[in-house]
Amino acid sequence: MLYRENGQFKTSYRADQQMLPILQDRIFMGLLLVFVFVVAPFVFSNYFFLSILIPFLILALAALGLNLLVGYCGQISIGHAAFMSVGAYAAYNLVLRVPQLNFLVVLVLAGLIAALVGLLFGIPSLRIRGLYLAVATLAAQFFMDWVFARVKWFTNYAPSGSVSTATIDIFGFQINSPVRKYLFLAAVVTVFAILAKNLVRSHLGRAWMAMRDMDVAAEVIGIRPVYAKLTAFAVSSFYVGVAGALWGFVHLGSWEPLAFSITLSLNLLFMIIIGGMGSILGSFFGAFFIVALPILLNRAPDWLGIHLSTAMVSHLESMIFGALIIFFLIVEPQGLARLWSIGKEKLRLWPFPH
Amino acid sequence: MKKNRNLMILFAVLLAGLIAPLVTGASGAGFWVEVLLGGLMAGVLYSLVALGFVLIFKASGVFNFAQGAMVLFAALSVARMAEKMPLWAAMLMAVAIMVVLAFVIERLVLRPLVNQDPVVLLMATLGVTYFIDGFGQTVWGSDIYEIDLGIAREPVMILQSVFDGGILINKDDVAATAAAALLVILLALFFQKTKTGRALRAVADDHLAAQSIGIPLNRIWVIVWSLAGVVALVAGVVWGAKLGVQFSISQVALKALPVVILGGFTSIPGAIIGGLIIGVGEKMAEVFLAPIAVKAFDLAGGGIENWFAYVLALLFLLVLPEGLFGEKHIDRV
Amino acid sequence: MGGGKTIGDVVLDLQGISLSFGGVRALQDVTFDVREHEVRAIIGPNGAGKSSMLNVINGVYHPQQGTVSYLGAKRHDVNTHEAAVQGIARTFQNIALFKGMSVLDNIMTGRNLRMKSGLLAQAFRLPSAEREELEHREAVEQVIDFLEIQAHRKTPVGRLPYGLQKRVDLARALAMEPKLLLLDEPMAGMNVEEKQDMCRFILDVNDQFGTTIVLIEHDMGVVMDISDRVIVLDYGKKIGDGTPDEIRGNQAVIDAYLGVSH
């Protein structure tokens, strides 16, 4: 099948404004969805679900949330794991204190609470920008870390400060096996990815990008910086909050006070730098990368007959992450997503070079 | 004007918080002075790390997130090498290592990214952070190591005649603070009096103009990053001697970021004053405010000092977006 | 020029504007007005305060002294957003396009102010949001046709040549359907052909849509050809104001341009 858009003439603006205007892209996406929901549940092992696909999907959602703020609206945050923790603890307390709530409702409420907190810490972005904002978001990180470690009510007075969750039950359907967890996450993440795509191709998304690219010009054409920045903070924190709740309930099951530390925040940033800032697809690339690389690093030396200690592997991983961030910023600032679209462009022109 | 009024209000609030324990009788004068001194000592270290940060920001426009990682790396280098050689030799070697690191960063990170957006440069230093953290622990190991400065650690009682019960301080703390303060003074002199220092300031004021009169930017960057490395080394050794050399040092060093917010990114006096404010503020908050909060909200312990600096900086930003000594930013369109 | 068109009442009136940055005085006691439907040019040597003037009109800079009256409402401080709502659009000297977005999206941002559907409606792409998007797309397509940039719709603006970027900048401003259009050196750096095109667009906008235009331009030929009245600034002060013919004969203006010592 050739990747060509020749001959696909759009006769209306509606046709031109579809999410995927090119026929081949639609076919590809259709096949991908069939694979994700129909084929994958049968072919992968439990190990693959638990240690790769499940963390990948949740981190992709979190990276997507951060990308809306950093990649689309141009507001940097190095404390986004704080909003994940808000989502996780909000969900924990909702389930604990209002047990009759459906988990889907819990997810949305947890997201909304995270959005509210995100909004609060986003307020400084109205007066400050760029580098100053980076430090302001660190305040969110350390403050929320402290809140959940010290305020006993949030952890239901657990003596160790760690919390554990029960199995999720949605309309009588138990999310208890790796395959079910995977399918549930795949569905949630697909929906959220579509909503995000819709947002960034609407006027709100354009307002975000305008703020990112040239804030003075955006203001002059009537975009309100207050509205654009705060919605970006709120929507971003909502996504990250939902991801945090899923991380706690579906991936971890139980977690310690520092499960959402600054390391996680930095990892989220890493994902969008490597994956591609301002790209929804890129968030997925970045998340996959960060999940797959450590596993590869753990395995690869054994294949070569070298044995490395776990600590050594984690240090190597850190070095490789660092080197990759710098490499991508220098060589391909738009990340893997850009490489992907270059590939598509080449394919479109193939067999001609230009 | 408006800025000055806000500044007055801020300082009034800070001052009120400072003397509140004394006035309300929550603390005796001797203990209060002890806490104050403890805060000032921590503050000097924050100032030192913040200074390294300001140096780099002024000369290369880079918001160096890796400053904390550099502190850890330097401390690790000293601690591990001191196992094989005398401390002074280990420190000299570590200085050489920090200079080499500066060269590598200039060559592989700064030069290819010249004239990029500040946020991109910040992210690049995030990469540097990851790399140095991994590299340092690969080479030097990741346990807790000790640095022995050879100063007795027992506390001494001073000023018994002035305050009831005297004031308890550690000798090594005093020595470390003196060393840090000396370094701060040396750096200030270096900037005022030497030719290189003046060139650095010229670069800070205007990159293009400095280049056009023949100041080589690349070499300046290497010098500045080396200086920041040395500053990180001193901070790392002092902290390492106190807390043991371990990963958490890099997070303590992150507190230099709220310090530069208070002082403004480009101001050396700002870094010093900001460091002292943060140091004293968080100590006072931890000692006097945390017990009240623990009681009022039934907390599982204090630990306010983990976030106090950041939240104080945040509040500062809302009132004074350019910091104490920062320059006002004008958009040109 | 201006034959056949009717110049209306004063729409924009600036009185005694003074603006300084720290010690630098960018504008000193400048007074002038703009009438409905006219093409008003601001000229002057580099650093005369021309761009600052535009920045005062739409609220990017706030003057220390003076008032700005637009459509009868007198203000000391113009709010950028309010200016946009009241139909003031502008282009920029150094092209302030959104470089990460396509030509189409850049121009669509000019419609943002008129788009009302809420966050959830957009996220779920409800029919109402879809319809709104289409309506405004059609309006934008008219601007694209008018400025003859159909072929570049989907191109990221950063990849366009300079002359076309200037045109997209104008397109974005026109998409706002402004009553008053501020143009900051719309022809700087263009070749003769591009300049001719741009002149034609400006006059067409003025003619067909009745848009009032304030423009800064260095090319004297262009200024004298297309503007109805000209104001001359030098070192932040107004040194001349009148029709192109009057300006041509003004001794102070000639001195400023030929560099007579002050």
Domain extent listing, chain C:
1-87+179-262, 96-177
Q: Report the C-alpha gap between C211 and C178 in whole angstroms.
A: 7
Predicted local confidence at residue C128, as pLDDT: 95
- Look-up of token digits 């637009």: C70
Which segment of B194-203, C158-167, C171-180, C228-237 scores lowest on mean pLDDT?
A: B194-203
Q: What is the DSSP letter of A70?
A: I
Burial tier of C113 (Cβ tally within 10 Å: 0-12, 13-18, 19+)? buried
Residues C238, C242, C248: CA angle, nearest 5 degrees: 95
pLDDT digits (tens, 9 = 90+) for A213-263: 998 999 999 999 999 999 999 999 999 999 999 999 999 999 998 899 999
Biggest CA pair distance of chain B? 65
- Residues of chain A with pLDDT > 70: what percent? 96
- Main-chain dihedrals φ then ψ at residue C41, nearest 5 degrees: -105, 145
Q: Report the C-alpha gap between A180 and A186 in whole angstroms.
A: 10
pLDDT reading at B213 higher than 80: no
Q: How many CB contacts within 8 angstroms connect chain B with chain C? A: 9
The answer to whether the Cβ–Cβ distance between C133 and A213 falls below 8 Å is no
Predicted local confidence at residue A64, as pLDDT: 98
Residues B178, B184, B186: CA angle, nearest 5 degrees: 100
User: Which stretches does DSSP call E strand in chain B?
Assistant: 155-158, 167-170
A-chain residues near B257 (CB < 8 A): 134-135, 138
Angstrom distances, CA of residue B212 to CA of B61, B197, B205, B215, B216: 18, 18, 13, 7, 9
Give the closest residue to A326 by CA, choosing from B107, B214, C224: B107
pLDDT band per the 50, 70, 90 thresholds, residue B267: confident
Predicted local confidence at residue C1, as pLDDT: 45
Predicted local confidence at residue B152, as pLDDT: 63
pLDDT reading at C36 higher than 80: yes
Any CB–CB contact under 8 A between A203 and chain B?
Answer: no
pLDDT digits (tens, 9 = 90+) for C89-117: 999 988 899 999 999 999 999 999 999 99
Specify the length of chain A in residues: 354
Do the Cβ atoms of C74 and C10 come closer than 8 Å? no
pLDDT digits (tens, 9 = 90+) for B109-136: 988 988 788 888 888 999 999 999 999 9
Q: Report the C-alpha gap between C96 and C118 in whole angstroms.
A: 27
pLDDT reading at C24 higher than 90: no
Give the closest residue to C139 by CA, choosing from C209, C215, C36, C212: C209
SS3 annotation, B282-321: HHHHHHHHHHHHHHHHCECCCCHHHCHHHHHHHHHHHHCC
Question: What does R_g of chain B's alpha carbons equal in angstroms?
Answer: 21
Predicted local confidence at residue B3, as pLDDT: 61
Nearest CB among B131, B300, B317 relative to A322 is that of B131
Do the Cβ atoms of A225 and A218 come closer than 8 Å? yes
Strand order of the sheet with strand C39-43? C88-90, C180-184, C212-216, C39-43, C229-234, C237-242
Residue of B nearest to C62 (CA): B330
pLDDT band per the 50, 70, 90 thresholds, residue C2: very low
Q: What is the DSSP letter of C112?
A: G
Predicted local confidence at residue C139, as pLDDT: 95
Predicted local confidence at residue B1, as pLDDT: 52
Question: What does R_g of chain C's alpha carbons equal in angstroms?
Answer: 19
Domains parsed from chain B with CATH numbers: 36-319 (1.10.3470)
Angstrom distances, CA of residue C158 to CA of A195, A306, C97, C163, C224: 28, 48, 9, 12, 32
Residue of A203, A235, A344 to mutate for C, most C C-beta atoms under 10 A? A203
Average pLDDT, stretch A166-174? 86
Residue of B nearest to A128 (CA): B321
pLDDT digits (tens, 9 = 90+) for B154-182: 677 776 666 666 677 777 778 778 888 88
C-chain residues near A207 (CB < 8 A): 109, 112
Which segment of A321-325, A331-335, B121-125 scores lowest on mean pLDDT?
A: A331-335
Q: Is the CATH number of domain C1-87+179-262 3.40.50.300?
A: yes
Q: Report the C-alpha gap between A333 and A324 in whole angstroms.
A: 11
Rounding to the nearest 10 degrees, give the CA dihedral for residues A258, A263, A269, A272: -90
Residue of C nearest to A12 (CA): C134
pLDDT digits (tens, 9 = 90+) for C149-158: 999 999 999 8
Q: Report the C-alpha gap between A269 and C96 in whole angstroms.
A: 28
The answer to whether the Cβ–Cβ distance between A198 and C125 falls below 8 Å is yes
Identify residues of C whose CB sits under 8 angstroms from chain B CBs. Answer: 21, 51, 55, 60, 92-94, 96
The letter for the amino acid at C252 is A
DSSP string, A269-291: HHHHHHH-TT-HHHHHHHHHHHH
Residue of C nearest to B329 (CA): C21
Question: What does R_g of chain A's alpha carbons equal in angstroms?
Answer: 21
pLDDT reading at A73 higher than 90: yes
pLDDT reading at B188 higher than 80: no
Predicted local confidence at residue B331, as pLDDT: 55
Predicted local confidence at residue B204, as pLDDT: 67
How far is A138 from chain B, CA to nearest CA, in Å? 7
C-chain residues near B333 (CB < 8 A): 51, 55, 60, 92-94, 96
Q: Report the C-alpha gap between B300 and A176 in whole angstroms.
A: 33
pLDDT reading at B205 higher than 80: no
Which A residues 161-220 touch C at CB under 8 Å? 195-196, 198-199, 202-207, 209-210, 212-214, 216-220
Nearest CB among A14, A203, A209 relative to C98 is that of A209
pLDDT reading at C48 higher than 50: yes
pLDDT digits (tens, 9 = 90+) for A95-149: 999 999 999 999 999 999 999 999 998 887 787 767 778 888 889 999 999 999 9
Burial tier of B32 (Cβ tally within 10 Å: 0-12, 13-18, 19+)? buried
Predicted local confidence at residue A305, as pLDDT: 77
Strands C212-216 and C180-184 turn out to be parallel
Residues in contact with B23: Cβ distance below 8 Å, sequence separation at least 6, in sequence order: none
Which A residues 265-304 touch B at CB under 8 Å? 266, 269-270, 273
Scored b (16 or more CB within 10 A) or e, B97-110 reads bbbebbeebbebbb
Predicted local confidence at residue C89, as pLDDT: 95
- Look-up of token digits 């600054």: A262
- Main-chain dihedrals φ then ψ at residue A282, nearest 5 degrees: -60, -35
As a CATH number, domain A46-349 is 1.10.3470
Q: How many CB contacts within 8 angstroms connect chain A with chain B? A: 152
3-class DSSP assignment, residue B160: coil
For A36, the token pair is 């994700």
Prediction ipTM score: 0.92
- Main-chain dihedrals φ then ψ at residue B247, nearest 5 degrees: -55, -30
The answer to whether the Cβ–Cβ distance between A220 and C105 falls below 8 Å is no
Q: Report the C-alpha gap between B254 and A8 in whole angstroms.
A: 55
More confident residue, A20 or C170: C170
Predicted local confidence at residue B24, as pLDDT: 78
> What average pLDDT is seen over chain A?
90
Predicted local confidence at residue B162, as pLDDT: 65
If phi > 0 it is left, if psi is from -120 to 50 it is alpha, else beta; for residue A7 that is left
Beta partners for residue C73, in sequence order: C70
Scored b (16 or more CB within 10 A) or e, B261-298 reads bbbbbbbbebbbbbbbbbbbbbbbbbbbbbeebbeeee
- Residues of chain C with pLDDT > 90: what percent? 66
Helix extents (H) in chain A: 13-16, 23-34, 40-43, 46-48, 54-67, 81-97, 103-122, 131-150, 178-200, 203-213, 215-220, 225-246, 262-275, 280-303, 310-331, 335-349
Do the Cβ atoms of C81 and A224 come closer than 8 Å? yes
For A19, the token pair is 């999410």
pLDDT reading at C138 higher than 90: yes
Predicted local confidence at residue A85, as pLDDT: 97
Residue of B nearest to C20 (CA): B330
